[in-house]
Amino acid sequence: MRVGTVWRLGVLTVGMLLLSGPLPAADGTGFPYHLVRRIALPAAGAVHALLFDPRTRTIYVAQGPRIEGYSLAGARLVLQRRLPGTVSALARTGTGQIVAAVRTPAQLVFLSPRTLAVTHRRTLDLAKPAALLYDRKAHLLFLESRAGATIVRLDPASGRSLGQVRVPGTPGEMAGNGRGTLYVTNAARDALEVIDARSMRRTGSIPLSRCRAPSGLAMDTIGRRLFVGCANDRALIVDADLGFTFVRLPIPGGPRLRAAFAFHPFGAHGWKGGVFFAGATAVAGIQMQAFIRYRNHGHLPLPARCSALTLVAPVGELWLALASSARARPVIWVLGASRSEAQ
Amino acid sequence: MNRCISGVRILAGVVLGVLIGLPPAQAALAPWSALAGKTVLFVTGGPRAPQPNDDARVARYLRQLGLRVRTVDARVSPSAAHGTALIVISSTANAHALGDKFAASPVPIFTWNTFDYPNLGMTGATLHRDFDVIDPVQHYADSFSVLYGFGANITSEISRAVGLRPQLFGTLYLEPQTAGWGDPGPGGTVITDFFGSRHYAGVFTYEREATLADGRTAPARRVGFYLGSDNFHLLTAVYGPPAQDPNLRRWAIGLKLFNAALRWALSPPPPEPTYDPRALDAALRQAARGKRVLYVERVNGGEGRRSDAHTVAHLRRLGFTVTVADQTAPQRIARGMDLIIISSTCSKWKLANKYIDVPVPLISLEGLLSDVLHFSGRDRYTDYGEHGELRESVDPPENYLNIVGAWSPMAAGLKPGLVKFTDHPGVLKWAWPLPDATVIATLPNEPREDAIFGYPKGARMAGGFIAPARRALLPLDNPSFDQMTPQGKALFDAVVLWALGR
């Protein structure tokens, strides 16, 4: 076959593909992302945290005692730092500092985002810190110890403790509303615990009817809608102003879900908002059509359990850390937006 | 033998007196614990019901409340209701297929099948006028309006259970919704309404023996509810810390209303009163002991003087201590009284605004005082008026009343329908009270012209006025007391006895 003919056939094929409408999702369920890159991590050990920094355009991966920084462009490893113990959580404060929670010995480590140089540390009087949350609008930093069933509010600059509250049960992911209220899932009580962040006092709990062992939690960026992932393959959307569950949607994913929300996750012309739940078997998407209207938008089966996820909304990517066991070598899946959603 | 019968009557009278005097709290809804295990016949659209719908959710919820649920579709035989405690009809059931098969059922009905309201006699038959379903496709703007209900009645058992107030509340969660409304007949009780009008009732009830919109009598309790097919799960509720805000608690009451209305439908209705003038007389004598009545009249007036004298004599014969006061006497004379009766000989102009806010039960025998006493709105011939007044009314004289609230003790045990009130046609006044009033009788062929009604204490009256004590209208024009039939006198006594209750 002549080269010219091949070229013409190629143009024709591409043209037909473009005219045939949106590309089908990888698994045919309508999930709006597909796999664009795999990053195999060289060492074994669970990835406990993924964090995207829009200022440095870096994705930080916390695996064991290491923190690695990957450039958004090309997903190249650009930074690396070893800390004295397993890093269980990462957060980025309002000043741009990266904060790492080290499980044992329990401590908080502040790092420079561009070099990952340690700027200062603070020893924590807390058993096995497991999660960090920086509430960007309220400028509040929270640290959770699941082993101690305790949440501590910290000074975002120094790491000094400003108050703490016990959350009897099994606390999971946290979300803040930007107005001084902190929410945390409680798998033991099938409820959301509500904490006044200023007084660090538990003000009550929101029952989650027919939601077993909630673990994944995200909040929209205006602090009105809570997205809860339940172990019985269900996602609940709760009006935080009323504690009222107004949407229940089936989602696959299994127990110990992670959740993330973003407005316009595919850019200005994409979805109004999206929430993503990832667990042991799948990552599922829920589309926000309006503030009060949501729908399932498919799922993507996962080869291994997701231990961390982060949305990189500026480029329409979803990063997932997957590992079949704690001793297995994890892999990062970078999912890119399917064409129909990105346009 | 006669003495024995007399003893029974006195006992019946005492029981009647106790029943009438029951405060609302004692007439509360049955607790869920007492209702657990009861069987509900749930009529749905079956497998071919429009999708999505919340029928499965409702059935699950009813079971969570401890009820046994038997789900059937519209092809169900009416006999299927035998032995059940309640029929619940979803709007997914085909109303045309249902027809009137449950209309005569002695089992209470709780329905949100708006198109079935006429079949059950709960509203008239004309779509858009007597009932309607608002949905976001056909009525986009109104489908937002139905997110806001209004507490039309604040003293019914359902209203008290919910803590309903005369203010707006959130019916369903936020997005434009499908909801139904109905315009019940005079025997119905509007609990909540839409669009600022009681004609658009969101939740309404009929007590057993109440007169339905089609003139038939409710064989058991009936409840109409505003739900659509697929929004049970969006009935408003508030949980967690937001529930500590009393305003939010009073706003998000959709599910509470559903629960209270369901409980009301399942709860036993009050015993059916029987017409027994002697037992009524005995009850009234019992109640009159030590009670002081202020009788306000136009002292030494011409017309009606004999009637006033005979009314006072009747009250004294019953055992009341009666003080007669002129219409111009200052209001302070009402202090220490147990009941105020305002005669129709009083001049509305001279009476001025007296006795409106007195925390003493009050009966007005003059319907034209309805505006000043906040019984009704202020538009004469629309909110209140008269039949048979020369040069003042286009309506002919009348001497019959139509009993529509036979279940109430104020109806003296009279059966629903027409009753001869006075011997000869004459002037009869009427008013159109607010939904908090219990309507006992209307004028014949005038379902909006209510002759006898009563507001309980705490009721919302016209202009937002809250009744400081019981208030009742019994239209007895100047010479009428002596012309009352035995049934008319029984109604008079029953209203007096009711007014003395708490």
The last residue of one of the domains, among A190, A207, A224, is A207
The answer on B248 and B322 residing in a single domain is no
The DSSP annotation for A168-190 comes to: -S-EEEEEE-SSSEEEEEETTTT
The answer on A272 and A188 residing in a single domain is no
Q: Is A79 exposed, middle or buried (0-12, 13-18, 19+ CB in 10 A)?
A: buried
The answer on A90 and A123 residing in a single domain is yes
Chain B residues with beta carbon closer than 8 angstroms to that of A290: 175
Question: What is the rounded average pLDDT for all residues in chain A?
Answer: 90
Going through B345-476 in order, the beta strands assigned E by DSSP cover: 362-364, 384-387, 400-403, 417-420, 428-431, 438-443, 446-455, 471-473
* B242/A242 CB distance under 8 A: yes
Domain containing residue B109: CATH number: 3.40.50.880
Give the residue numbers spanning the domain of A33.
Answer: 26-44+213-343
The DSSP bridge partners found for residue A237 are A227, A247
The answer on B350 and B234 residing in a single domain is no
Q: Is A149 exposed, middle or buried (0-12, 13-18, 19+ CB in 10 A)?
A: middle
Give me the interface pTM, i.e. the ipTM. Answer: 0.86
In the prediction, which pLDDT does B391 show? 77
In the prediction, which pLDDT does B394 show? 84
User: B residues 234-263 near A, CB within 8 Å?
Assistant: 234, 236-244, 248, 252
In the prediction, which pLDDT does A26 show? 44
The answer on A116 and A60 residing in a single domain is yes
Confirm whether A224 is domain-assigned.
yes
Report which secondary-structure segment, H or E, holds A109: strand A107-111
The CA distances from residue B451 to B272, B419, B428, B474, in Å, are 22, 12, 8, 6
The answer on A203 and A60 residing in a single domain is yes
In the prediction, which pLDDT does A307 show? 95
Residue pair B345/B305 in contact (Cβ under 8 Å)? The answer is: yes
* B234/A192 CB distance under 8 A: no
At CA A306, angle to CA A303 and CA A307, rounded to 5? 145
In the prediction, which pLDDT does A6 show? 45
Instruction: Determine the Cα–Cα distance for residues B426 and B199; give it in Å rounded to an integer.
Output: 30
Per-residue 3-state assignment (H helix, E strand, C coil) for B101-120: CCCCCCCCEEECCHHHCCCC
The CA distances from residue A276 to A130, A265, A279, A340, in Å, are 21, 10, 10, 18
Preferred mutation among B233, B239, B250 to probe A, highest tally of A CBs within 10 A:
B239
Give the residue numbers spanning the domain of B428.
Answer: 277-500
The answer on B362 and B441 residing in a single domain is yes
The last residue of one of the domains, among B240, B266, B292, is B266
The answer on B246 and B324 residing in a single domain is no
* B241/A243 CB distance under 8 A: yes
In the prediction, which pLDDT does B7 show? 53
Instruction: Determine the Cα–Cα distance for residues B29 and B472; give it in Å rounded to an integer.
Output: 25
Q: Dihedrals φ, ψ of A175, to 5°?
A: -150, 140
Report which secondary-structure segment, H or E, holds A85: none
In the prediction, which pLDDT does B21 show? 47
Domain containing residue A288: CATH number: 2.130.10.10
The answer on B338 and B216 residing in a single domain is no
Q: How many CB atoms lie within 10 A of CB A339?
A: 15
Nearest CB to A242: which of B175, B233, B252?
B252
The CA distances from residue B167 to B192, B194, B319, B435, in Å, are 10, 11, 43, 14
The answer on A316 and A181 residing in a single domain is no
In the prediction, which pLDDT does B199 show? 96
Q: Dihedrals φ, ψ of B443, to 5°?
A: -75, 150
Q: In chain B, how many domains are there?
A: 2
Helices B305-318 and B277-288, packing angle to 10 deg: 80
Which residue bears the tokens 């979300």?
A175
In the prediction, which pLDDT does B6 show? 53
Q: How far is CA B289 from the centre of its chain?
A: 29
The DSSP bridge partners found for residue B297 are B326
Given strand A77-82, what is the order of strands in its sheet? Answer: A47-53, A58-63, A66-71, A77-82
In the prediction, which pLDDT does B425 show? 94
The answer on B302 and B192 residing in a single domain is no
The last residue of one of the domains, among B266, B296, B314, is B266
In the prediction, which pLDDT does A2 show? 44
User: A residues 275-334 near B, CB within 8 Å?
Assistant: 290, 292-293
Question: pLDDT tens per residue, chain B (502 residues)?
Answer: 444 445 555 555 545 544 454 444 335 799 999 999 999 999 999 999 999 999 999 999 999 999 999 999 999 999 999 999 999 999 999 999 999 999 999 999 999 999 999 999 999 999 999 999 999 999 999 999 999 999 999 999 999 999 999 999 999 999 899 999 999 999 999 999 999 999 999 999 999 999 999 999 999 999 999 999 999 999 999 999 999 999 999 999 999 999 999 999 999 999 999 999 999 999 999 999 999 999 999 998 778 899 999 999 999 999 999 999 999 999 999 999 999 999 999 999 999 999 999 999 999 999 999 999 999 999 999 999 999 887 778 888 999 999 999 999 999 999 999 999 999 999 999 999 999 999 999 999 999 999 999 999 999 999 999 999 999 999 998 778 999 999 999 999 999 999 999 6
Chain A residues with beta carbon closer than 8 angstroms to that of B240: 192, 194, 204-207, 243
The answer on A255 and A184 residing in a single domain is no
**Residue B144: helix, strand or coil by DSSP?**
helix
Confirm whether A1 is domain-assigned.
no
The answer on A115 and A165 residing in a single domain is yes
The last residue of one of the domains, among A178, A207, A236, is A207
Confirm whether A304 is domain-assigned.
yes
Interface residue B302 vs chain A (CB under 8 A): no
The last residue of one of the domains, among A163, A179, A207, is A207
Helices B2-20 and B486-500, packing angle to 10 deg: 50
The last residue of one of the domains, among B235, B266, B297, is B266
In the prediction, which pLDDT does B22 show? 44
At CA A263, angle to CA A257 and CA A265, rounded to 5? 75
Nearest CB to B173: which of A204, A205, A244?
A244
Instruction: Determine the Cα–Cα distance for residues B205 and B122; give it in Å rounded to an integer.
Output: 9
The answer on B125 and B47 residing in a single domain is yes
The answer on B313 and B258 residing in a single domain is no
The answer on B401 and B331 residing in a single domain is yes
The answer on B250 and B319 residing in a single domain is no
Confirm whether B7 is domain-assigned.
no
**How many Cα neighbours within 13 Å face the side chain of B467?**
28
Q: In chain A, how many domains are there?
A: 2
Instruction: Determine the Cα–Cα distance for residues B460 and B433; give it in Å rounded to an integer.
Output: 10
Closest-CA residue in chain B for A293?
Answer: B175
The answer on A157 and A32 residing in a single domain is no
Question: pLDDT tens per residue, chain A (343 residues)?
Answer: 444 444 454 444 443 333 333 333 444 478 999 999 999 999 999 999 999 999 999 999 999 999 999 999 888 999 999 999 999 999 999 999 999 999 999 999 999 999 999 999 999 999 999 999 999 999 999 999 999 999 999 999 999 999 999 999 999 999 999 999 999 999 999 999 999 999 999 999 999 999 999 999 999 999 999 999 999 999 999 999 999 999 999 999 888 889 999 889 988 888 999 999 999 999 999 999 998 899 999 999 999 999 999 999 889 999 999 999 878 999 999 999 987 665 5
Which residue bears the tokens 């409710």?
B218
Q: What residue type is assigned to position B117 of the chain?
A: Y
Q: How many CB atoms lie within 10 A of CB B69?
A: 17
The DSSP annotation for B65-98 comes to: TT-EEEEEETT--GGGGTT-SEEEE-TTS-HHHH
Nearest CA among A53, A162, A73, A165 for reference residue A113: A53
In the prediction, which pLDDT does A343 show? 52
Compute the radius of gyration of chain B from its Cα atoms: 23
